[in-house]
Structure 1
Amino acid sequence: MPHGNAHKGKVSYLESPERKKEFSPEQLLDLIRLRESDNVLDFGAGTGYFTIPAAKRVKGNVYAMDIDASMLGIIIEKSRKEQLENIVPVEGSIEALPVSESSIDVVIASLVLHEIQPLAPLLQQLKKVLKKDGYLICLELEPKGSSGKAPRITSEGMKLAMKEAGFHVKEIIFPSEALYLLVTQKAE
């Protein structure tokens, strides 16, 4: 059953202490200064690495979107344990985001945008769901050489894609040697 082992490997990486040590969800949430009233979309939520901590900080909804129903099951279980009632699990695809237009204050896309080809249509979808002046936060690995996996997008390449999609790049941060964080804002 290779699929089951791959799934366990993905979950163990997403939940690893090494990942938290490199760049914790609290560090990201501190950087973006969530407001208590914000609605957040965790795009490609995985096991809820950002979903759960964000839901503890806001009274608005935190939409945990993933294409993998088993990942959403993990988030639902965690939210029950934490007694969080503002998490909305959303199984969806990039072709039509199942979130209302202009309803989201902050989109968090962590280690997922490099998997989307072409990227421009998704960025337009994310822009539609964001409120005026909403933020799209992109966390990705800075490529070092080539690998057999989905090609990574450099920080410069991601900045360009964001600008072309109509986002203002407000800040770029390198929380570690391997990671970059782009803070972008919807431009009208």
Structure 2
Amino acid sequence: MVNKRFNPKNADKLLNQKRKRSLQPEKVIDYLQVSEVDTVADLGAGPGLFTIPLAKQTEKDVYAVDVEPEMLERLKQHADQENIKNIKLIESDLEHIHLAEQSVNRVLNAFVIHEVGSIDRTIDEMKRILTPGGYLLLMDWEAVESESGPPLEIRIPSKEMESTLKEHGFSTEIFHPGPEHYAIRAQKEER
């Protein structure tokens, strides 16, 4: 069995300039359509590659959720350096997210879904914390060989992930920001 979890000792790799240029966090946030009135959960926030720019987009709370306390501590340091006050740190796995039902209207899950034990349980949790009509942006590595990223055997093909989201009641739109990655914007039904 391959260890699926990213080692927090390598957190600096997640914030290096080459990765920032490749992933363009601000462009990712554009896909999520975050405004100043949105409450956001960044699930698998790590040291804050996406959390910091998310917090600059909204005046509401941004919940940075990560299972690794070391990652959250690094994120806190980065937020303090930039004098950002609307980030709330939540130590939690993604199969039992420590947020209230319908507490956010935007969820970002970037490059961590392949690490969870149960994808179905994690998607159920994302749906639980989202308000009706809220958006989830799920990004991950396409199931292709590449120089960076997780081993091919734990990557989830974009079409399979899109199908899983639809099975959970989301409407979806898929895009490929680059040949190695995919993004799926999924909307929870309005009710």
Q: TM-score, normalised by structure 1?
A: 0.90
1:152 aligns with 2:164: no
How does 1:45-124 map onto structure 2 within 5 Å? Answer: 45-124=45-124
Q: Which residue is 1:174 aligned to?
A: 176
> Deviation per CA, 1:89-124, whole angstroms, max 9, x where unpaired?
000123421111111111100010111232111111
For the Cα contact (< 8 Å) 1:114–1:150, is it kept in 2?
Answer: no
Counterpart-to-counterpart distance in 1, 2:92 and 2:153: 21
> Deviation per CA, 1:112-151, whole angstroms, max 9, x where unpaired?
0111232111111110100111111011010115975761
Q: Which residue is 1:3 aligned to?
A: none
Percent of paired sites with the same residue: 33
> Deviation per CA, 1:42-89, whole angstroms, max 9, x where unpaired?
000001011000001100100000000010001111111111110000
Counterpart-to-counterpart distance in 2, 1:173 and 1:149: 20
Give the number of aligned pairs.
181
SS in 1 for 2:178: coil
Counterpart-to-counterpart distance in 1, 2:8 and 2:85: 27
For the Cα contact (< 8 Å) 1:40–1:62, is it kept in 2?
Answer: yes
Q: Which residue is 2:165 aligned to?
A: 162
Q: Which residue is 1:38 aligned to?
A: 38
Q: TM-score, normalised by structure 2?
A: 0.89
Q: Which moved more, 1:142-151 or 1:70-79?
A: 142-151
Q: Which residue is 1:20 aligned to?
A: 20
Counterpart-to-counterpart distance in 2, 1:167 and 1:136: 9
Q: Which one-letter code corresponds to 1:175 in the other structure? A: P
For the Cα contact (< 8 Å) 1:42–1:51, is it kept in 2?
Answer: yes
Structure 1 ranges of 4+ moved more than 4 A: 145-150
SS in 2 for 1:47: coil
* Structure 2 spans left out of the alignment, 5+ residues: 1-6
Counterpart-to-counterpart distance in 1, 2:54 and 2:24: 12
